[in-house]
Each structure stands twice: as structure tokens, then as C-alpha cells.
Structure 1
């Protein structure tokens, strides 16, 4: 009996489809057993993968970690274990840059089993008679139309505040806005921060303490949050079997009226180079990322597939209130973050700086635009220089 251990993230979308796929895989190969542990949503983005790679055969990972993981040699290059035809199908059926986001140094380090980006969402029953905003000016106008205790929400805990900030920067400055030597250009970064501070007083009070899951739970349970302009999409909340009020997801508002450059999220399945069973682990990765599994049990178990066959499936879209049809354009034009060795640490620490500034501004109604950007860029330059000195 071969037993593989996997590490994923603690949400129905990240855990249940892998458990179900593992059970089916074990029926196909009775001598193989796969078990899964879970880490928190925050740890999913922040916890060092090298520590996990020594304990687990299979890892669900975020694409900004690819550069440092490749340098550390902790992942098995899947192009050594999977056929060229299979990988070509994955590339052709990538939703946006999801497949490419797990490439580094000419190798393929993970498969995009889950595709996501920051998208907009609403409670359709509370938006009756109103158009979904396509620009940020229209988002502000919506805040002024809402009455009583109804507000727009925006998940702005440190991690998600940083993700939204990067989406705004990319929408304002283009996909290549980030200078991997210096950080964020002054004009782009200050414009993005000014927009966040501009909307801050009009947000639901839970915004600064929420991640997307917490915001959607609140949105689905009560009638206070009408609309969310930017947050990672979760098809779980738009499904026929969802708990509470169903949400509708759609393309983001932008400066150009085009849903451009929302931050790419999603999840890739990778194989630890330290595994004693790399061929078997790679075969499971191939199985779970296949169009057949992605379009059936992966979605049915609560997953958010990464293969376009599932995104274009009419049955899946009918069940999810057209989640996949309605957000596809945002995914196709999404922004892929830098994947160099310092970016994961920068994103985490810069999110704390940004959240601190937003929290102060929410209390005293003072905007901290130039100083916040400068502190974030100083952090990036410090991390970059420190990394180079340690090479």
C-alpha cells in the first residue's frame, strides 16, 4: 500500500473536491491511499512551502511562490512526469493565465486545478432597478444611492487589502506596472491608494476585518451588503444549493469600463521533490486536473475548476447562476503577480502597512497616500537588497 499525504486549504472549495477525487483515484488504483490535511486561508498564502514539502507529497499552492520554490528545489517539475500532449491540453484550456502562472525557468511546477481572480458580486434581490457598476465612479454613485443600513462591502483584511490595491494598480498602470527593482511607480500607486481612501468612509463597517469568505457569509446571511466591487470569486455562494441568499458574480469595475487586470488567484497542485512516490503523486495531479474530473466531481464537491471545459459547461453554469460565464472576461484579462523570491514576503508585510493606514484613515478621515506608498516601496527595496546579499 502506498500512502500519499497532501496539504490543501481549509475551505469546502479547497478540501472537498480533493477528498472525493482521492477516493475515486483509490478505486481505480486500490493500492494507493491519499490523505489530506488543511491549513488556514492566511497560511495558504503566507506559510513557507519548503517546510511543507518535507512532510507532504502533494501541495496546493499559490502562484507567487513559484519563483522561491523553484530556487529552493522543493517541487518536482511536472513536465518530467506528464506527457507533452497532456500539458498542451492544459495550456490550451487555461482560464486566463492560470496555467502559465505555474511556469518558471522553462518548467511546469504545478497544474491549475482551481481558477479565480478578483471579481465583483452583488445580492441580485437588493440590486433591483440598479445597474451593476462598470467604473469606480459608478461604484461611488451606488454608495450614495443606498439608504438605511445598506452599504457596499469590500474585504480589506491585510492580505485582501493588498490584493485589491494591486488590482487597482494594474488597472491604472497596466499589467507591467510593477518595477521588480523599485516597487510601485509613484503615480500609479498613489492613484490606487487615493481611490481606496475615497471609498473607505462609505463601506460597511465589517470591511476592514473581513476576508472574502467572511464578507460573502455576511452578505448571504443578511441584507446589509448589497455589492462588493473587488474580492476573489467563490462559486460556492452562487450555487443553487448555497446557504442563505444566493450571490451573483460578475466582471469588475475599472477605470476603462473594461474588466482589465484584476488580480489572478486560483490554486495549483504541485508535487514535492522530497516525495518517495513522485510518479504516483504526479499521476494523481494529472487525474484531478483532467477535463473529465474538473467538469464533474471536482465542481460537484464544491470546487472551482481550473479547466475551461468546466467553465464553459452549461450544466455547471446553470447550477452556479452563470458564475463562470459571467466572470470569464475578468479572468482572461487578469493580472499575474510577480513571482520573484521576495514577492510573497513583500505582499504579506506590505498588506499590514496598507491595512494600518486604512484603519487610521477610517477613524480620523485623513488620507495617508504618499507616506503609505513610500513605506511599502521602502519595504520592497529592503527585501530585494537583503535577498541579493544572501545569494
Structure 2
């Protein structure tokens, strides 16, 4: 009698970068382990950020997750800590070869709740052909950026979640790391300056970008010939690969706020692979996760199938960079500087709502101090939320 295959179900997000490398690695893993079948499903980028890991863990064995869910996942014990299942030598290699804080972003209360298979932070993107036509150099400072924006040639995501990440970026780049005490997101002086600076740029961005996530910005840049430069959006190496889109994008480090400053500090993103504690086949799921996160797969099968690896060896690999117009070596400094945002359980409450407040200000103007007061109230609620729900 033929033995029934072990089937694992996985959930990721619905872009080439999120879905295709998981299908490719699952296919190869099945070829090496014919008794196992791994089926990947996809959700939208918004669902990726919003849907509770607790809910997903009831349905799926494997989950590609956003690191702000780490605190919630740890509190609910709905995903397994890899420390209890993988050799210390493997995890040490992952730690030593972390792209920026990618590995640490899934470590909470001393345990590793996901493996960093994907690394990203907001970086700059350009259409070199359009800049050349305009006889404009790549922007180096915020003033350069503003000048290009005033010509209608700049676009970036103005969705609430991305606006909040950009607000954090402006704060970090202005010398203050957000969310360092229990009372306020940032000091009023910093917050007022940052909001005014952000609005001075947003005032020159077409309204359509209030409805576009980062990869929709890149689609806009590659399908049309209007936007020459995106100053900050979570990078997608797919658009720097020949044949992926109508036009090729080049990716760069961020501009500096002022000449002589180091480039801006953006807010770390990326994705991790987690295993549900509810899975009937935890050992198999862990072994597949180890396979995907291994340096050998990360710098070959994973990246060759549209993935954006989380292992440093892949980012420094000459062939990988040749495939992607040097996306990885050009943007690595931005990853290494990137700010690791809060991951305590209640911070998701803040993250879900704070961006709306900043978006309203960017669109309509208003009193910066009132905006900050509203953010601070939400922030304190999120800390209390953790105390009640954590």
C-alpha cells in the first residue's frame, strides 16, 4: 500500500519576491524528500502586515512573517523557537551573517522565532535613462531631492504604514531614535522639525502615490516614463533584473539630509520564515526552514527565483550582484544602518493607526504639535495594551 505523503502548508505574500522563491525551494526540497509535499499560498502585502500570526498559525505549518509580529508571536507561543530545534552552529552562522539587524529582528526574549530569509529596508531607486535625458545627476542631498521633486519627477509610497516608517527614518536621520521612553515617540522639537521637512517633500508628490505600496511605486516607475527617482521605498531587487519589467531600475543608498552628513537611516523591513507550534510535522517544517535559510540555497536557488536573501554571503556574491545591477552591494550600507523598530506585542496597535495621523497631516497640513500629541497618546495606549493583552 502506497504511503501517504506528509503535506505542509505555507503562507507568504503575493509578489515575485515573496512567492516564487518559496515555490522553487519547496519544489527542490520535495525532489530531495519525495515523501514530503509543501504547498505555498499567497496573501496581499497589506494582509502580510495586518493578519495576526496567531490566526495564520492555526491554518499553516510555515509562515513568512513581518518582524514586528515577533513580540506577539512570542507572547502567544504560536510559533516555535528555533533554538530548541536547530544546531547552535547553524544559528551562529545565521547571526554572524545577518544583513544588518535582520537576524536580531526575529529574536525576542532570548529566543529566535523566525529565520531571516529576506532582508530589506527603504533605499533609493532611479531610472538612469530618464535622469540622463533630464541632464540631472543622482540626488545626493535632501535639497537635490527637493529640486527634482519640484519638477514632478519623484515618487514614493504614501500609504500609512510606509509614511510611518518614513517618519521614523526622518527622526533617526535627525539624530533621535524613536520610541526610546514610555511617554513620547520623539521629543517635540525633533518631531516638529521632521514633520515640516517631510511635508515639504510630500507637497510635490502626485496624489496617486497615496494609494501605492513600494512595489506599486516601482511598477509605476518601470511602466511609465515620468518618475525618475524614488528616494526611499522598501527595495525590491526584482526591478533591477533584466527582463523583469519594461525598464530597468538602479538602486542606491539614501540621500543625506545635508551635504557632509552620512546618508539617512531608514527603518528595517524584510521577512522571516516561522514554523507554527500547531503543526503536526514541526521537525519536517524546521528542516525545510533550515534548507531555505542555508547560505548555499540563499545565494543560488532562492535569489535566482526572485528572492531577496537574508544571508550576507548572498549579498556579497559577485554572481548575485551581476544578476541584479549591483542591487545588493549598492544598498548594503543602508541595511547595515537601518533602525530596528519596536516589536513588543502592543506596538502593532500603534503601527496600525499612527500612519493615518501623519498621512492626514501630509495631505492637509495642521499643527505639528497636535499631530505629535495624538501620536504620543496612541503610543502610550500601545504600551498599556501590551500590559493588558501581553
User: TM tier, shorter chain?
Assistant: over 0.9
- Counterpart contact for 1:151–1:204, Cα < 8 Å: no
Give the match's secondary structure for 2:174: helix
- Give the aligned partner of residue 227 of structure 1: 229
Aligned mates of 1:92, 1:341 — CA distance in 2: 27
Aligned-pair CA distance for 1:37: 1.4
Aligned mates of 2:88, 2:61 — CA distance in 1: 23
CA displacement 1:260-311 (0-9 Å, x = unmatched): 4211010000111111111111111100011111111111111111111111
Aligned mates of 2:247, 2:388 — CA distance in 1: 53
1:141-152 alignment to 2 at 5 Å?
141-144=147-150, 146=151, 150-152=152-154
Aligned mates of 1:173, 1:368 — CA distance in 2: 22
User: Which deviates more from structure 2 when the two are superposed, residues 293-302 or residues 133-142?
Assistant: 133-142
Task: Answer yes or no: is 1:123 the counterpart of 2:127.
Answer: yes
1:1-391 alignment to 2 at 5 Å?
1-128=5-132, 129-144=135-150, 146=151, 150-174=152-176, 176-185=177-186, 186-255=188-257, 257-360=261-364, 366-390=365-389
- Counterpart contact for 2:163–2:359, Cα < 8 Å: yes
- Counterpart contact for 1:2–1:33, Cα < 8 Å: yes
Aligned mates of 1:390, 1:25 — CA distance in 2: 39
- Alignment RMSD: 1.5
Aligned-pair CA distance for 1:231: 0.6
- Give the aligned partner of residue 363 of structure 1: none
Aligned-pair CA distance for 1:259: 2.6
Aligned mates of 1:269, 1:74 — CA distance in 2: 13
Give the match's secondary structure for 1:169: helix
TM-score by length of 1: 0.94
Aligned-pair CA distance for 1:130: 2.7
Aligned mates of 1:325, 1:390 — CA distance in 2: 42
Aligned mates of 1:43, 1:288 — CA distance in 2: 23
Give the match's secondary structure for 1:295: helix
Aligned mates of 2:78, 2:191 — CA distance in 1: 34
Aligned-pair CA distance for 1:45: 1.0
Aligned mates of 1:305, 1:357 — CA distance in 2: 36
- Counterpart contact for 1:152–1:228, Cα < 8 Å: yes
CA displacement 1:207-236 (0-9 Å, x = unmatched): 222111111111001111111111100001
- Over 3 Å counting, the alpha-carbon distance change for 1:74 and 1:200 in structure 2 is same
- Counterpart contact for 2:165–2:267, Cα < 8 Å: yes
Aligned-pair CA distance for 1:380: 1.3
TM-score by length of 2: 0.94
Aligned-pair CA distance for 1:354: 1.7
CA displacement 1:141-197 (0-9 Å, x = unmatched): 3334x3xxx4211211111111111111121134x4323412312222222211111
Aligned mates of 2:8, 2:339 — CA distance in 1: 34
User: Which deviates more from structure 2 when the two are superposed, residues 343-352 or residues 380-389?
Assistant: 380-389
- Counterpart contact for 2:185–2:379, Cα < 8 Å: no
Give the match's secondary structure for 1:344: helix
CA displacement 1:95-153 (0-9 Å, x = unmatched): 11101111111111111100000101111111124332232122113334x3xxx4211
Aligned-pair CA distance for 1:319: 1.5
Aligned mates of 2:283, 2:359 — CA distance in 1: 43
- Counterpart contact for 2:30–2:36, Cα < 8 Å: yes
Aligned-pair CA distance for 1:255: 2.6
In structure 2, the gaps of 5 or more residues are none
User: Which deviates more from structure 2 when the two are superposed, residues 308-317 or residues 124-133?
Assistant: 124-133
- Counterpart contact for 2:346–2:385, Cα < 8 Å: no
Give the match's secondary structure for 2:37: strand
Aligned-pair CA distance for 1:65: 1.1
> What is the aligned residue count?
381
Aligned-pair CA distance for 1:345: 1.8
